[in-house]
Amino acid sequence: MRKPGQELTDEQQVALGALRRLAVVLGAHFLEEEGNDLVATVRRVVYERGTTYVFVGTPDESRRREILRGSLLSRLVRELPGVDIRVVANRADRPEAGS
């Protein structure tokens, strides 16, 4: 999702291009949606496409945002009744990854 009119940096364009190419390799559909609110945009796409399963990465949210707006995950659960939501961990966070 990107905000309406948002320009991407070169790095973001490269990352987006890599994701598009990975989607082709996987046989997945890659959608780019415009919106100002991630949860509202996901909700719209889920109902437009009859989605029953949503995968999300681990959000990198600030505590302040969580306190003010509620966490992204709890908002998704609340806004998507009847839809399975799976949070995929960042493999780099596993203990064996070390640092």
Partner 1 sequence: MSRLRRPPRRLPIERDARRILVPFEGRLDPTVLDAAIRMARAEHAVLVPAYLLIVPLSYAEDSPLKDQVEVAMPLLEAVEHAALREGVPVDARIEKGRTLTHALKRLWEAEPFDRIVAPAPIPGAPGFSEKQLAWLLTHAPAETVVLKPAA
The reply on whether position 64 binds partner 1 by CB under 8 A is: yes
- Among 24, 31, 40, 77, contact with partner 1 (rule: CB under 8 A): 24
Dist. CA 3–CA 89, nearest whole Å: 25
- Neighbouring CB atoms inside 10 A of 62's CB total 8
String marking each residue 29-58 x if it binds partner 1 according to CB under 8 A: -----------------------------x
| Contact assessment for residue 43 and residue 79, using Cβ atoms and an 8 Å cutoff | yes
The reply on whether position 97 binds partner 1 by CB under 8 A is: yes
The type of residue at 94 is R
- Among 18, 77, 85, 87, contact with partner 1 (rule: CB under 8 A): 18
The reply on whether position 86 binds partner 1 by CB under 8 A is: no
Structure tokens of 56?
């999300």
Q: What values do phi and psi take at 87, rounded to 5?
A: -100, 120
Q: Reduced to 3 states, what is the DSSP secondary structure of residue 80?
A: coil
The residue whose two tokens read 């908002």 is 75
- Among 26, 32, 55, 88, contact with partner 1 (rule: CB under 8 A): 26
- Contact positions vs partner 1 (CB under 8 A): 11, 14-15, 17-18, 21-22, 24-28, 58, 60-64, 90-94, 96-99
